[in-house]
Amino acid sequence: LTAAVAAAVISYLAASISRYRKSITLYLAELSRIESRNLLYLNNLVDLIRETMETAAISGENPILLVKRLKKNFSVQHSNVESLIRTLPALADVTCSGLITCLRARFPMLTENDIMFISMSALKFDQNCIDYAFGYGNVRTYYNKRHEIRKKMGIPDNILFEDYIATVIDELVLSK
């Protein structure tokens, strides 16, 4: 090859790489925007579920009326509140940087009810809401369940359950 041909090939390759780099940068920026919109949507969905359930728990609303309200608010066809609530671990996993996947891997002895309890805590559902979702009759049942989960996870007594969950989420965010 002559020097001129080699220079032309190198110039062509450099221009192609530059075009591809710009395309990839634009593609990644668009993916980031889509992910941000999806995350915002999921956070709004969680807020709406939390608000509806808190209202129901505080007012002592009949569960059948709660299901009707949830159907109206979310335009979904769930036969009962349990089917909607069962989606919360997936929402917690997405909005909390993979928290549920991480906890299932670290602590395989956690039951689905434990995972649901943790999901609702991570999504900032208050105690009344969690009591309502699980049908707990009194505050003691809530604290007993939380203590049982703490024990399974080996959380020291000097660390609050909510603080431990927040720390795990922070670690997951930093690792990404």
The upper half-sphere exposure of residue 112, i.e. CA atoms within 13 Å in the direction of its Cβ, equals: 6
pLDDT in tens, 28-80: 667 667 667 777 777 777 777 777 777 666 666 565 566 566 556 555 444 45
Between residues 144 and 66, the one the model is more confident about: 144
Q: What CA–CA distance (Å, rounded) separates 156 from 176?
A: 26
Q: What CA–CA distance (Å, rounded) separates 145 from 131?
A: 10
The answer to whether the beta carbons of residues 119 and 131 sit under 8 Å apart is no
Q: Which of 103, 113, 125, 91 is nearest to 171 (CA)?
A: 103
Rounded (5°) CA angle 93-120-42: 50
